[in-house]
């Protein structure tokens, strides 16, 4: 197995790290900036005002595109790309969590590749994107996805009710600002969802059949950090040390380091995409719903998977059997306030046979490679 590994992103980490934006804007000789963000919380917590002041001092023109939704929509990304092209934007500053950054990568790519008539055609076939995207800076307000230092975007089609990933190395943000204090105003639910998103990233990079020894140790170390600091970040939102450790762990858990020279298995993510495409639930919370049942049934289905689970359980959790490990996972999920059954979601009143069938089809179309019956079994065995 050959591996390619390159870190493209420059990080500024710590209190008042946002001040480095001015230096980077001036050094890059940017003239016209688009600020992208979600629901507008950045205008309440002071981040927006700080950024605007920095951009004014940097003598750059700027416009805004707000309202990017969780599970970002293709139509919003395309609308923003047309605006960026018309305004001749030469830098995008994405402020928020994974949804804003994911959408911004698509915006940046479509703005310079007018051959695409809509965003979903790019998601379905990114090979036609021949021109480099607009450069991206990111300012993180929610720890979880690591979108701030990787090439991936997960986009939802409004018309097709599908949620799929698209990748473009050149769309990886080149500068990222990580001030742990910026994550403190995020709700307990979203904090926990981000933590479990990272937890799932680590598990799914471990659960490929072949894992490089060094990579396994990095994965296990990051899992231990989440186990220690995750509950503290949820229960004590202003705990700087907990927030800082969670934030850095989430960034380092999906940038190529934790999959180096190893196989990966993203089945749980494929399954969750089917759930959040259908009910628009928080991604990390959906992963928490699936994971315990998935690991339990996969251990019954494949002996090698069970052996890898026992190694993980022993070395990270000090647990010696699968049953205790599943019980621990369920209890830890409850401890950080995430769902363990379908009806824990306000958005999900009931799950029908048609829903199960639809989710399985979506999972396979999204990249799932296991037998259809296995995915169906997992969905149906998640507690109601």
Question: Residues 301-331: pLDDT tens digits?
Answer: 999 999 999 999 999 999 999 999 999 999 9
Task: Please give the pLDDT value at position 67.
Answer: 96
pTM of the predicted structure, to 2 decimals: 0.95
What is the Cα–Cα distance from 278 to 265, expressed in whole angstroms?
Answer: 22
Burial class (CB in 10 A: 0-12, 13-18, 19+), 192: buried
What is the Cα–Cα distance from 311 to 328, expressed in whole angstroms?
Answer: 15
Residue 135 DSSP code: P
pLDDT of 7 over the 80 cut? yes
Task: Please give the pLDDT value at position 63.
Answer: 98
Among residues 276, 275, 277, 289, which one has the least CA distance to residue 344?
A: 289
Task: Please give the pLDDT value at position 184.
Answer: 96
Could you tell me if 229 and 129 lie in one domain? no
Helix or strand holding residue 92 (H, E): strand 91-96
Could you tell me if 16 and 145 lie in one domain? yes
Mean pLDDT value across residues 7-20:
97
pLDDT of 133 over the 80 cut? yes
Q: What is the CATH number of the domain that holds 375?
A: 1.20.1090.10
Q: Rounded to 5 degrees, what angle do the CA atoms 238, 243, 247 make?
A: 150
Task: Please give the pLDDT value at position 169.
Answer: 95
Q: What is the CATH number of the domain that holds 136?
A: 3.40.50.1970
What is the Cα–Cα distance from 52 to 45, expressed in whole angstroms?
Answer: 13
CB count, 10 Å around CB of 73? 21
Could you tell me if 229 and 168 lie in one domain? no
Tell me the pLDDT band of 58, cut-offs 50, 70 and 90: very high
Could you tell me if 106 and 51 lie in one domain? yes
pLDDT of 99 over the 90 cut? yes
Mean pLDDT value across residues 278-289:
97
Could you tell me if 33 and 114 lie in one domain? yes
3-state class percentages of the chain: helix first, strand second, coil last, to nearest 5: 55, 10, 30
Per residue in 205-229, pLDDT (tens digit) is: 999 999 999 999 999 999 999 999 9
Mean pLDDT value across residues 12-23:
98
| Domain encompassing residue 253 | 189-381
Could you tell me if 178 and 196 lie in one domain? no
Total domains present in the chain: 2
Tell me the pLDDT band of 4, cut-offs 50, 70 and 90: confident
Could you tell me if 103 and 118 lie in one domain? yes
């Amino acid at each position: 197995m050959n591996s390619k590994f390159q870190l493209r992103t420059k990080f500024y980490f710590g209190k008042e790290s946002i001040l480095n934006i001015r230096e980077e804007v001036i050094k890059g000789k940017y003239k016209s900036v688009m600020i992208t963000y979600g629901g507008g919380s950045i205008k309440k917590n002071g981040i927006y005002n700080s950024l605007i002041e920095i951009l004014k001092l940097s003598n750059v023109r700027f416009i805004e595109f707000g309202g990017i939704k969780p599970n970002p929509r293709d139509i919003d990304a395309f609308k923003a790309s047309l605006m960026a092209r018309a305004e001749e934007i030469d830098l995008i500053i994405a402020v928020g969590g994974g949804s804003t950054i994911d959408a911004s990568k698509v915006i940046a790519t479509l703005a310079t590749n007018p051959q695409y008539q809509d965003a979903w055609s790019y998601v379905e076939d990114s090979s036609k994107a021949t021109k480099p995207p607009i450069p991206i800076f990111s300012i993180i307000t929610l720890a979880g996805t690591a979108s701030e230092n990787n090439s991936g975007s997960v986009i939802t089609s409004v018309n097709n009710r599908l949620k799929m990933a698209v990748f473009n190395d050149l769309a990886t943000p080149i500068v990222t600002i990580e001030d742990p204090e910026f994550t403190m105003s995020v709700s307990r639910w979203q904090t926990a969802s981000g933590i479990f998103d990272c937890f799932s990233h680590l598990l799914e990079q471990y659960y490929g059949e072949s894992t490089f020894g060094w990579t396994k140790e990095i994965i296990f170390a990051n899992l231990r950090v989440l186990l220690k600091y995750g509950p503290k970040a949820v229960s004590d939102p202003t705990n700087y040390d907990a927030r800082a450790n969670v934030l850095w762990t989430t960034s380092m858990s999906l940038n190529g380091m934790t999959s180096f020279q190893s196989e990966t298995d993203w089945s749980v993510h494929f399954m969750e995409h089917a759930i959040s495409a259908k009910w628009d639930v928080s991604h990390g919370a959906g992963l928490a719903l699936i994971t315990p049942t998935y690991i339990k049934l996969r251990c019954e289905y494949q002996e090698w998977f069970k052996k890898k689970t026992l190694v993980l359980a022993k070395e990270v959790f000090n647990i010696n059997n699968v049953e205790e490990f599943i019980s621990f996972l369920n209890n830890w999920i409850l401890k950080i306030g995430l769902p363990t059954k379908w009806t824990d979601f306000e958005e999900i009143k009931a799950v029908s046979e048609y829903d199960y069938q639809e989710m399985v089809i979506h999972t396979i179309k999204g990249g799932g490679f296991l037998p259809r019956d296995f995915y169906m079994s997992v969905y149906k065995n998640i507690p109601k």
